[in-house]
């Protein structure tokens, strides 16, 4: 039986930070990630190319369907890149691989407004969090999109004519060079080799050129250099408490054997829905001490809402990164929206030439914002259930749809499809940013974790991913998760590993 100071489940925006900082502090750290290493390698033979082509199984790892009274999981390919969760009125998309969501997100960065922290324990304020955002930036090294002013002409015109403000600089976690047609080799803050961006637009399918500043190339590289062990293709099946800490059992999909290890500290960072599933299952089976009653509350789809402006009559954005433009004014405010204009990665998707040309003429508008976060996740003894949907905050989603249609008038598209893929007015919505459910909330009765990330009543058990957000931040949540993880790590390293 192997013993570690800390076991981290998941390698995304929360888990990667804890792995790096605890390993740097001298702890023995094990990271368990159910997906593979992706992208270009350095001759280590561990990585596999990002999927391309028409076969669904190359992209999709699994689909979890928990609708009505039925639950079913369909596994297409355990080495697939994406996971899909289907509920009655919510569909959620996640990633699978070393580096988590950083592998496929659109790289957008943002910091919430100071009043965001009113939902959190009083120890967390904008002033308290500022140095941790700075730490995250020092590692992830976001940059302003070159030529962003020219790329924003379409969205700027539509915003001005609609009375919705102006756009601003697009800050992305991407390494840019002086000339995208002549990529250069550089070394990032972790000392890892990367190439400057070629503007290929493949950001959400996995960057094949190592231009995205993903977590596998930054925090996780730092963790490995400090002695952390990272096991890919290792799917955690159960967690439980024991007198000296925690047991973790996982299926090693490489050897097809179940393995286990113990640790004094256990960090759950598997993403909102998978972290909640592990916690609910452990509570249901009696493998953990009593968990807070608030588990599952304050779930949110992050206000996500996507629309397609099909074949706009005027468009200035050419090939490049996914995000061409973002709306900055009021995008932090409680009643504001974060809006992004994006293009499809048409050159990497197999399709007829005419469809490719039509998509080049089209624009996606992605919105996210601070919905009411009143949805709830529950557990039926087998699977997680979720009541999130348009009805969770009907007023908010009606407003987003109205704003989207205002903007569409000035793009002059041949047609508009809102609320992709379900359509306008549908009770069902889609998200790529499920947050909450294990909230770090201001009110004790709403809190699952305290301000240090430790689960209330469970010494040594931490949750450090999007599930601890007490509310959607109104901007892409990735940087906020990183900053919160940096703060949690700083407290954990100052106190040391929990005593047996």
Q: What is the pLDDT of residues 279-305, one digit of tens each?
A: 999 999 999 988 999 999 999 999 999
* DSSP letter, residue 88: S
Residue 380 token pair: 């039926």
Structure confidence at residue 328 as a pLDDT band (50, 70, 90): low
Cα–Cα distances in angstroms (integers) from residue 391 to residues 92, 245, 397, in the given order: 16, 41, 9
Cα–Cα distance, 384 to 278 (Å, whole number)? 10
pTM of the complete model: 0.95
pLDDT for 316: 56
pLDDT for 265: 97
| Mean pLDDT, rounded, of the chain | 91
Instruction: Judge whether residue 330 has pLDDT over 50.
Output: no
Specify whether the CB–CB gap between 280 and 239 falls below 8 A: no
Structure confidence at residue 334 as a pLDDT band (50, 70, 90): low
Specify whether the CB–CB gap between 220 and 482 falls below 8 A: no
Residue 181 token pair: 């047609």
SS3 194: strand
Cα–Cα distance, 127 to 116 (Å, whole number)? 12
Instruction: Judge whether residue 392 has pLDDT over 50.
Output: yes
Residue 186 token pair: 């550089």
Closest CA relative to residue 422, chosen from 95, 89, 62:
89
Closest CA relative to residue 176, chosen from 136, 134, 144:
144
Closest CA relative to residue 335, chosen from 106, 111, 116:
116
Specify whether the CB–CB gap between 176 and 8 falls below 8 A: no
pLDDT for 329: 46
- CA 13 to mean position of chain CA atoms: 7
Contacts of 275 (CB under 8 A, 6+ apart): 9, 10, 268, 269, 437, 438, 463, 465, 467
Specify whether the CB–CB gap between 441 and 470 falls below 8 A: yes
pLDDT for 332: 47
Least confident of 2-6, 65-69, 265-269, 435-439: 65-69
Cα–Cα distance, 215 to 182 (Å, whole number)? 25
List pLDDT tens digits, range 97-120.
999 999 999 999 999 999 999 999
Cα–Cα distance, 207 to 104 (Å, whole number)? 8
Specify whether the CB–CB gap between 317 and 157 falls below 8 A: no
Specify whether the CB–CB gap between 449 and 266 falls below 8 A: no
3-state SS of 131-190 is HHHHHHHHHHCCEECCCHHHHCHHHHHHHHHHCCCCEECCEECECCCCCCCCCCEEECCC
């Amino acid at each position: 039986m192997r013993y570690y100071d800390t076991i981290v489940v998941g390698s995304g925006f929360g888990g990667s930070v804890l792995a790096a900082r605890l390993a740097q502090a001298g702890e023995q750290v094990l990271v368990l990630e159910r997906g593979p290493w992706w992208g270009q390698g350095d001759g280590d033979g561990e990585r596999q190319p990002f999927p391309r082509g028409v076969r669904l199984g190359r992209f999709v790892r699994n689909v979890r369907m928990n609708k009505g009274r039925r639950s079913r999981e369909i596994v297409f390919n355990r080495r697939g890149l994406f996971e899909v969760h289907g509920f009655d009125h919510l569909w959620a998309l996640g990633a699978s691989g070393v580096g988590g969501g950083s592998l496929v997100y659109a790289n957008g960065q943002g910091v919430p407004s100071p009043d965001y922290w009113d939902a959190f324990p009083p120890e967390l304020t904008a002033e308290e969090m500022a140095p941790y955002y700075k730490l995250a930036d020092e590692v992830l090294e976001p940059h302003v999109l070159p030529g962003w002013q020219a790329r924003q002409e379409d969205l700027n015109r539509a915003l001005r004519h609609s009375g919705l403000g102006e756009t601003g600089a697009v800050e992305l976690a991407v390494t840019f060079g002086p000339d995208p047609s002549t990529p250069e080799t550089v070394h990032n803050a972790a000392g890892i080799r990367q190439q400057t961006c070629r503007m290929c637009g493949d950001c959400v399918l996995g960057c094949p050129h190592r231009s995205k500043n993903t977590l596998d190339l930054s925090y996780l590289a730092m963790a490995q250099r400090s002695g952390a062990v990272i096991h890919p293709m290792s799917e955690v099946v159960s967690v439980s408490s024991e007198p000296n800490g925690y047991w973790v059992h996982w299926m090693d999909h490489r050897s097809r054997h179940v393995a286990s290890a113990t640790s004094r500290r256990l960090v759950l960072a598997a993403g909102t829905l998978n972290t909640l599933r592990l916690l609910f299952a452990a509570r249901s089976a009696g493998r953990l001490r009593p968990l807070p009653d608030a588990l599952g509350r304050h779930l949110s789809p992050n206000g996500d809402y996507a629309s397609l402006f099909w074949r706009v009559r005027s468009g200035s954005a050419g090939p490049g990164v996914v995000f061409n433009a973002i709306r900055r004014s009021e995008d932090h405010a409680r009643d504001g929206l974060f809006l992004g204009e994006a293009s499809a990665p048409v050159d990497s998707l197999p399709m007829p030439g005419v469809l490719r040309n039509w998509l080049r003429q089209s624009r996606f508008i992605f919105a996210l914002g601070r919905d009411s976060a009143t949805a709830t996740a529950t557990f039926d003894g087998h699977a997680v259930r979720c009541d999130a949907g348009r009805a969770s905050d009907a007023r908010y989603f009606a407003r987003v749809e109205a704003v989207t249609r205002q903007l569409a008038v000035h793009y002059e598209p041949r047609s508009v499809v809102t609320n992709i893929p379900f359509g306008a007015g549908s009770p069902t919505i889609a998200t790529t940013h499920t947050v909450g459910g294990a909230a770090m909330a201001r009110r004790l009765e709403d809190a699952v974790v305290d301000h240090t990330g430790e689960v209330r009543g469970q010494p040594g058990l931490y949750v450090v991913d999007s599930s601890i957000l007490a509310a959607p931040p109104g901007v892409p949540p990735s940087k906020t998760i990183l900053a919160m993880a940096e703060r949690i790590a700083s407290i954990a390293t100052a106190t040391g590993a929990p005593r047996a």
